[in-house]
Every structure is written in structure tokens, then in C-alpha cells.
Amino acid sequence: MLNQIILVGRLTRDITINKSEKGVNVATIGLAIPRSFKNADGNYDTDFVDCVAFDTVACNTAEYCSKGDIVGVKGRIQSRRIEKDGRNENVVEIIAEKITFLSNRGKEETEEKEED
């Protein structure tokens, strides 16, 4: 059996790190993922997906990426039951296990140049 998902999209907001009750670093990462086909109106629809990242993955992404950057997320789908307003609800989440930084808009790259 396999539970794996790969997403590539732009960050919809800057990432903030929160601490869980157990002291674990947690970040919710919003992705905007345009579809590869046009709708009936001739426009490309966009899916907005939230992913949850923990510890090092969350901290590195928050440090090196900002709103508008393109990232690749490899992870898994996880479901859990929560109680809300006296009712049990099923929540489905994307857990980011690895995030690849594909672009850093507006950040300058430095190159070493050899002197003659």
C-alpha cells in the first residue's frame, strides 16, 4: 500500500512557526497550485492546499522561503477525528515530509569570481 503525495506550487503566505503542546515546532504551509487545463470560461483554476510541516522541515522552510516562492512538497495524506461543537468530524491533512525550494523570488544569488 502507498500513501504519498507530491505537490508543486507557490507559497500563499509567509510561514510562521508555532509550538505544539508537546513543544514540537509546527508550521501550516499554504500552497497555490494552478491546474494544467482551462475551465469553461477559458481561465486556469487554482487549488489552494494547506500542508503541515514539523520540526526541521518547518523551520528551514520558514527561514529560507517567503510568500510567492515555488516549493515542492513530498508527503502523505493523514486523517484524524476531532470533536467540534459536540460533533465528531473527520479532518484530512497533508503532512509535509520533505520540502524542496524551487525558487527564491527577489533573493540575490552570489557567485564567487576568480581574480586573474
The pTM assigned to this predicted structure is: 0.80
**Structural domains counted in the chain:** 1
**Chain segment 24-40, per-residue pLDDT in tens:** 999 999 999 999 999 99
Looking at this protein, which amino acid is placed at residue 17? Answer: I
- The neighbouring-strand residues paired with 104 are none
**CATH code of the domain containing 83:** 2.40.50.140
Quick check: 105 pLDDT over 80?
no
CB-neighbour burial class of residue 33 (10 A; exposed 0-12, middle 13-18, buried 19+): middle
Which secondary structure element, helix H or strand E, spans residue 55, and what is its range? helix 55-64
106 assigned to some structural domain:
no
Residues 72-89 have pLDDT tens digits of: 999 999 999 988 888 999
Residue 107 located in a structural domain:
no
- Residue 92 in any domain: the answer is yes
Nearest alpha carbon to residue 75 among 60, 89, 54, 90:
54
Domain enclosing residue 61, as ranges: 5-101
C-alpha cell at 89: 468530524
In a domain, 112, yes or no: no
